[in-house]
Amino acid sequence: MAKIYIDPGHNHSGADTGAVGFGIKEQDVSVQIGVMLRNMLINSGQAVKMSRERITDTISQSLNGSLSARYNEANNWRADLFISIHCNAANTKAYGCETYHCTGSIKGAELAKAVQNHLVAETGRANRGVKAANYAVIKHTNMPAILVETAFIDNYDDNQFLASESGRKACAMAIYKGVCDYLGIGYAFSATTEEFKESEDEEMNKRITELEERIKALENPMVYNFIDKNTDKIAPDCNECLKHLVNIGVLKGKDEGLALTEDMIRIYITFYRAGVYGK
């Protein structure tokens, strides 16, 4: 069993808040991905500790306090691996995913490569590669450490990916598989991509159905059957009016009813009562 420290980047408030793009915040997305990753790793029998477990968590109101608290806790816990999760930001044009390790860390580079390979495969984001850097949270840790830049939150396409639950799951799955590869352990069946895709397909079908219903509602705001009880609420002689208009050919529709708004029906009733359509 490995001890894995997950660090969802940034804070809910204070000096160390993250990037923002198209209404979503880096500090929120990092936690959402981190929680999914935690559950996958625990399901695989690993021990996990997180710097932030809720979107509203703030470690420190200062930048230095925020950074030092993360690597100090990981060091004190004697974690085997340190994973910091982030969203990138640049000039709205940059896009893709990349993974950092501390300069000179051979094991960190191995972990970063394992995660980056899966990040590209699982997310479909552009491959920006594995890079070395001296970010505080991966420089001052006593264990192999990586910083994952999942996608660019200020790039519209990347942002929409991060805003979706399926996108965040893909990021978590990629990191999970990379960690498993690095540790030399198998993937837990209950955390496979296939199972997540099943739930995603169900969710997608549900959304498609809802969208189709909305479209139908816009095209046919209200469908009244000839003997629909709803029409009685508009006027006592509503059904009589509609039947008469159908019989004389003013209205045409299928057996299941006529697609009419309430305002349209009221106009027809007014003309009907005035004798415009005859008797």
Scanning the structure block, which residue is given the tokens 């970010």? 135
Q: Give the integer Cα–Cα distance in Å for 254 and 223.
A: 11
Q: Give the integer Cα–Cα distance in Å for 232 and 223.
A: 14
Catalytic residue among 73, 110, 149, 194: 149
Q: Give the integer Cα–Cα distance in Å for 216 and 210.
A: 10
Q: Give the integer Cα–Cα distance in Å for 50 and 25.
A: 19
What pairs with residue 85 in β-bridges? 8, 148
Rounded to 5°, the CA angle 21-26-27 comes to 145
Q: Is 195 a catalytic residue?
A: no
Classified as helix, coil or strand, 184 is coil
Q: Give the integer Cα–Cα distance in Å for 36 and 50.
A: 12
Concatenate the DSSP letters of all residues of 97-139 into one string. EEEEEETT-HHHHHHHHHHHHHHHHHH---EEEEEEE--HHHH
Residue 154: closest CA among 25, 36, 253: 25
Cβ atoms within 10 A of the Cβ of 222, count?
Answer: 17
Residues catalogued as catalytic: 149
